Structure 1
Amino acid sequence: MDDLSTTRAANDPVAGCECSCDRGWQDVQDEVNQALRSDDPLERNRQITAAYGRLAEADPRNIWVRLASYVSVQGGCAMQRTQAWDAQTVGRMVVNPSEAMDALQDANRTIFSSIYPVVRFAQKCGAAQLRRCVESGAIQADSSLLDAMDKLEQGDLRGASDLIAEHEQVRIVQPVYERHAGTFRDLMRAESLMPGDQTSIPIAKHCTRDNLVSIDGLDIRNPQDRVQYYQRLVNRMLQQEGTFRPGGGGATGTW
């Protein structure tokens, strides 16, 4: 166990052994493994979405996590739609449902397992302890995520969120797109052949095609365009949720 100072206040997030590098990180990994334990991609998606939701409630300052709790729902909806295409639909003629499910669940799982542990540890134990654990070699985390957690604790909520989103789309999602390039290309073709906007998503925690946040003018294959779309989604989420007021006397921040 790490040597934690006994001079810390009792309410300091790293004042107990539950936030030592080894114990704290293992507890977070146990949460991740619990969410990923199902072999059913749709059930796994529900567990991932629930984990995002719990973390968003625990730390509503984290805009990225709040948005993830919506986007993960819509990822599950996309999985359901591709599996519902029957042999007579345009989608089924263009896209292999099994390959579509594999690509979509890969994105859902990879984003969660790559980012959730870091932001959850920071929420539980503090950004300073996260950085100490990374610098000691006990935890591995990208420096951009450490900087994002520092910004979050300093009150730059939008800056923190933007850093996570940039890391997510460039470092995490882009390799997923490249692994499933043919499948995502087929999905885009199928969506283009169907009536209405099949690519944009709403800010909703249920499956709907109403009130979509338009992706018009952006190429979903381009990571920087996806970052721009993320900004559109955040703006819509903040509009729908209203003025941010963290509960429980939490720190205020700037959008």
Structure 2
Amino acid sequence: MDDLSTTRAANDPVAGCECSCDRGWQDVQDEVNQALRSDDPLERNRQITAAYDGLAEADPRNIWVRLASYVSVQGGCAMQRTQAWDAQTLGRMVVNPSEAMDALQDANRTIFSNIYPVARFAQKCGAKQLRRCVESGAFEADPSLLDAMDMLEKGELRTASDLIAEHEQVDIVQPVYERHADTFRDLMRAEALIPFDQTSIPIAKHCTRDNLVSIDGLDVRDPRDRVQYYRRLVNRMLQQERTSRHGATGTW
């Protein structure tokens, strides 16, 4: 597996073979398969999160990937919470834990397998090579992701991020919601029965219910509302990152 910290231009003679359409895409798919190899949803979630972390470090311009490294952690936390519900809890009376796990891991895996490969190939080989390979028929990628990678290379970072988020929520997550409609409905009912906000998530790399980014006023079932929530999460992440940098340098 290539070192995620190395970005090679598509016309780099050293990287020419590695960034050919067939070889480059196969290398990326090998990484995806490696992350998804475990049958344990929680271990698979940890591997997915690690892949996002590596790509975020390699290409910090990609705001969507940086946020995904947090959201994937919180997805794993949600999986753990549903499995901790026993027959005496209100949540367990409403939601079947195995069905909840199936729905949550489906979302985690499906988002990763659709977006990560495209972002990783673009990071390794460049947006131009990505588009060239797709247009030649070597492999497929959604046009909105191609546009997002173009915007990323032009420095339009928030535009790129928003394009990915819209594709994620409308084209990828919504079908997952529809596949597990009853389970997600039951999860919402269970969360409503438990004290305090159980739907909002924090920007954190560990399981916590502190410093939540409020989803108030938005309907998690609506993909457009989820895009709006994504923007709230991005704003909080950027704010926390600025605070962290200032704290590290001793300036405020």
Kept in 2, the 8 Å contact 1:155–1:251? The answer is no
Unaligned runs of 5+ in 1: none
Kept in 2, the 8 Å contact 1:94–1:187? The answer is yes
Paired with 2:79 and 2:49, the residues of 1 have a C-alpha distance of 14
Kept in 1, the 8 Å contact 2:90–2:190? The answer is yes
Paired with 2:37 and 2:127, the residues of 1 have a C-alpha distance of 28
Provide Cα deviations, 1:91-122, integer angstroms capped at 9, x if missing partner: 00000000000000000000000000000000
User: Quick one: structure 1 residues 243 and 17, their matched pair in 2 at CA, closer, same or farther if it must change by over 3 Å?
Assistant: farther
Shift of 1:251: 22
Shift of 1:212: 0.1
Q: Which of structure 1's runs of 4+ aligned residues deviate more than 2 A?
A: 1-15, 250-255
Shift of 1:16: 1.4
Kept in 2, the 8 Å contact 1:13–1:124? The answer is no
User: Quick one: structure 1 residues 171 and 159, their matched pair in 2 at CA, closer, same or farther if it must change by over 3 Å?
Assistant: same
Kept in 2, the 8 Å contact 1:155–1:254? The answer is no
Kept in 1, the 8 Å contact 2:90–2:193? The answer is yes
Paired with 2:26 and 2:250, the residues of 1 have a C-alpha distance of 30
Taking structure 2 as the reference length, what is the TM-score of the superposition? 0.92
Kept in 1, the 8 Å contact 2:82–2:100? The answer is yes
Paired with 1:135 and 1:65, the residues of 2 have a C-alpha distance of 24
Shift of 1:10: 9.5
Kept in 2, the 8 Å contact 1:166–1:227? The answer is yes
Shift of 1:139: 1.3
Shift of 1:11: 7.6
2:31 equivalent to 1:22:
no
2:202 equivalent to 1:202:
yes
Shift of 1:12: 3.7
Shift of 1:123: 0.3
User: Quick one: structure 1 residues 162 and 251, their matched pair in 2 at CA, closer, same or farther if it must change by over 3 Å?
Assistant: farther
Provide Cα deviations, 1:28-53, integer angstroms capped at 9, x if missing partner: 00000000000000000000000000
Paired with 1:223 and 1:244, the residues of 2 have a C-alpha distance of 31
Paired with 1:29 and 1:173, the residues of 2 have a C-alpha distance of 21
Paired with 2:19 and 2:31, the residues of 1 have a C-alpha distance of 15
User: Quick one: structure 1 residues 20 and 183, their matched pair in 2 at CA, closer, same or farther if it must change by over 3 Å?
Assistant: same
Total equivalences in the alignment: 251
Q: Which residue of 2 aligns with 1:128?
A: 128
Shift of 1:8: 11
Paired with 2:251 and 2:66, the residues of 1 have a C-alpha distance of 16
Kept in 1, the 8 Å contact 2:4–2:55? The answer is no
Q: Which residue of 2 aligns with 1:217?
A: 217
User: Quick one: structure 1 residues 253 and 9, their matched pair in 2 at CA, closer, same or farther if it must change by over 3 Å?
Assistant: farther
Q: Which residue of 2 aligns with 1:74?
A: 74
User: Quick one: structure 1 residues 251 and 202, their matched pair in 2 at CA, closer, same or farther if it must change by over 3 Å?
Assistant: closer
Provide Cα deviations, 1:68-89, integer angstroms capped at 9, x if missing partner: 0000000000000000001010
Provide Cα deviations, 1:123-163, integer angstroms capped at 9, x if missing partner: 00000000000000001001000000000000000000000
Identity of counterpart residues, as a percentage? 90
Paired with 2:113 and 2:218, the residues of 1 have a C-alpha distance of 27
Unaligned runs of 5+ in 2: none
